[in-house]
Amino acid sequence: MSETLGRRSFIKNAALGLSASALPMTLVELAFAKPEDSFTFAYISDSHIQHIKGTQFVRNWDRGLIRAVAETNLLTPRPDFTMFGGDLAQMGSKPELDHGAEMLSKLRGKVYHVMGEHDYYLDLGEYWSKLFGPQYYSFNHKGVHFIVLNSILTYDDWTFNRWPSAEQRMVEMSGLDNPNGSPFMVGDKQRAWLAKDLAKVKKDTPIVVFSHSPLQKIYKGWNFWTEDAEQVQALLAPFDKVTVFYGHVHQIQYNQIGNIAFTSAMATAWPWPYPQSYAQAQQLLPKLTVQMNRADPFFERDATGWQFIDINSGRADVSFSLYNNTARRIVFDPKSGQPQDTAYQAADQRIAPQTHY
Amino acid sequence: MKFPRAICVLMLSVGFVSGAVADEFSQADLERWQAQFDGVVKEGRGLWTSGNLGKNGVACGQCHPNAANTHPETYPKFQKQLGKVANLWEMVNWCLRNPLEGEPLAADDPKMTALLSYIMFERRGVKLEPGKH
C-alpha cells in the first residue's frame, strides 16, 4: 500500500500546497525492478462529454474529466504519457469531441487515444481521427511494445446498411442495453495488421495492449464483449508478458487468461452496474475480480475515477484513483501469475459495499 | 344521497342482467390486463431511455442499463442520505432533480407509474427484501 498512499497523499498535499511533505513515487518503487525497466503512465477513460445545446454541456460529466486532468497534472514524478481509453464524447459530435479535446489539452505531456463507440458511430471516426490520429497503431516505450486497437467495430451490414441516418446509427449504438445494438469486434483487417506488427516483436518483449471493449467475453447484452476476442488472444499468446487494458465497462474488472493479464478502467463520467445486477442476465464476470464499491448516488463522483500505472519489469501495477472511495491497487503477482488486489483479494478481507446484487 | 343510490341500483341491475360475478374473469380479461401492463412497461422503457425526461439530455438508462442497480425489491428502506425510510419513487425523483437536472414527478403521475413499472419488470423474479442495503 505504501506506493498508493505515497502518491495519493502527494496529490492531496500538492493540492493543499504542502508538497514538501510527500514522498515522490520513485523512492518507493518495487525493489525487483531495475530503474531503467520502470516507468509510469496515467490512464483516463470514458468521459462521455455530452452536448446539450449551444455552449452548454452536461456539467456532471465535465467535472469528472476536469478532475482527472487536474489530478494527473499533480503526479510526481511526471508520468511518461497519458492514455485516454475512449468514449471522450457521448454522441460523437464535433462540439463534444472539441470540448473534450480542449479539456484534455491541459494535460502536460504526450496523450495517446483509444477509439470508443461513442466517438465512432456518428461519422465512423472521421472527426476523431482529424483530432487524434490513426484509429489503431503501435509504439515502443522503454522496452515495452504498446499496441492500440479499435475494438468497437462491428458487422458491416449493421454499420452501413441497417440505419437510415448516421445520427440514428449513433443513437442505436449509444444505448448500452439497446437490443438494436451490435457486438463489438476488432475485425479481420486489424487482426491481420496486428499479426504483422507482432511478427517484428521478440517473444520476451513485454506487450501492453489498449482496447476500448474488453478483449474477453463478459456480458454480450451490454457489449462487455469483443466478438473476436479469442482470435486476438491467440495472436498475443506466444508472448511471455502481455497486459491488456480496456475501458467501456465503467467499473473495476481484472482477469488472467493464459499469459494475458486484463485490467479495466474506471469512467470519469458515471459508474455502471456489474452485469450480475441485472436479474435477467447470463454473465461471466471474471472470478478473480473483487468488485468496486456500490455507488452512492448522493455523491456525484462516487464510483468514478482514473488510473495511474507502474510498469515494473514489463508487468503492470494499477492504482485506481477513486474520487469518493479508498484507492484500490491491482498488482501482477509473479507467484500466482495473475493480477491481485493488494488489500481485498482474500475472501475474508472484502467489505460489505463490494457485494453487488 | 339519492343520486349515488340510483347508480348503485343501476349497477346492480346491470350486473344481474349480464350475470357477472365479482371474482370471475376470463382468459380474455387476463390478456387485456396483461396488455395494459405491458403497454405501460413499454412506455416506461421509452421514458427510461429518453433524454427528454430531465432537462440536460441525460437519460436514466445511461447509468442504469436495464434498470440495474435500482433495487426495487429493497424499498421502502432507510435512505441515510435522506435521513428517513423512503419509497422508490422518492429516489426516482432524486435522480430527476440531480443527474437529470429536471423537475420531480408526482407519486401518481402516469409517467412515474410507467417508470416504476419498467423498473419492477426488469427486476421480476427477485424476492422482496424491504429495508435491505
* Closest chain A CA to residue B61: A175
pLDDT of residue A19: 38
What's the pLDDT band for A315 if we cut at 50, 70, 90?
A: very high
pLDDT of residue A77: 85
Q: Is residue B127 part of a domain?
A: no
Q: How far is B31 from chain A (nearest CA, A)?
A: 23
Q: Is residue B55 part of a domain?
A: yes
B73 neighbourhood in chain A, CB within 8 Å = none
CB contact under 8 A, A273 and B58: no
Query: B79 φ, ψ to 5°?
Result: -110, 105
**Do residues A319 and A4 make contact, with C-beta atoms less than 8 angstroms apart?**
yes
pLDDT at B115 over 60: yes
Give the model confidence (pLDDT) of A95-112 as tens digits.
Answer: 999 999 999 999 999 999
Dihedral, A55, A61, A62, A65 alpha carbons, nearest 10: -150
Q: Is residue B20 part of a domain?
A: no
A270 neighbourhood in chain B, CB within 8 Å = 62-63, 99
Give the model confidence (pLDDT) of A16-29 as tens digits.
Answer: 443 333 333 333 33
Q: What are the grid coordinates assigned to A48, written together?
A: 462521455
Mean pLDDT of A6-14: 44
Q: Is residue B8 part of a domain?
A: no
Query: A154 φ, ψ to 5°?
Result: -145, -170
Q: Is residue B97 part of a domain?
A: yes
**Do residues A292 and A330 make contact, with C-beta atoms less than 8 angstroms apart?**
no
Mean pLDDT value across chain A? 91
pLDDT of residue B17: 53
Mean pLDDT value across chain B? 90
A272 neighbourhood in chain B, CB within 8 Å = 63, 65
What's the pLDDT band for B16 if we cut at 50, 70, 90?
A: low
**Which of A172, A272, A277 to substitute to test the interface with B, most B CBs within 10 Å?**
A277
pLDDT of residue A217: 97
User: Which pairing describes strands B84-86 and B77-79: parallel, antiparallel, or unpaired?
Assistant: antiparallel
Q: Is residue B103 part of a domain?
A: yes
Number of structural domains chain B divides into: 1
Mean pLDDT of B95-105: 97
Mean pLDDT of A71-87: 94
Could you give all domains of chain A from N- to C-terminal order, each with its CATH number? 37-346 (3.60.21.10)
Distances (CA, A) of A80 to A8, A309, A320, B100: 18, 10, 18, 38
In whole angstroms, give the CA distance from residue A116 to residue A125: 9
pLDDT at B12 over 80: no
Mean pLDDT of B12-18: 52
Q: Tell me which residue in A48, A58, A277 faces B68 most closely, judged by beta carbons.
A: A277
**Do residues A184 and A153 make contact, with C-beta atoms less than 8 angstroms apart?**
yes
CA A208, distance to chain mean position in Å, is 12
Q: How far is A271 from chain B (nearest CA, A)?
A: 7
Full residue range of the structural domain in which residue B113 is found: 28-122
B65 in contact with chain A, both atoms CB, cutoff 8 A:
yes
Q: Tell me which residue in B49, B95, B123 faces A175 most closely, judged by beta carbons.
A: B49
Query: What does pTM read for this prediction?
Result: 0.89
Q: What is the CATH number of the domain that holds B91?
A: 1.10.760.10
Q: What percentage of chain A exceeds 90 in pLDDT?
A: 86
pLDDT of residue A68: 96
In whole angstroms, give the CA distance from residue A194 to residue A186: 10
What ipTM describes this predicted complex?
0.89
Give the model confidence (pLDDT) of A279-291 as tens digits.
Answer: 998 888 999 999 9
Q: What are the grid coordinates assigned to A102, written together?
A: 480542449
Q: Is residue B9 part of a domain?
A: no
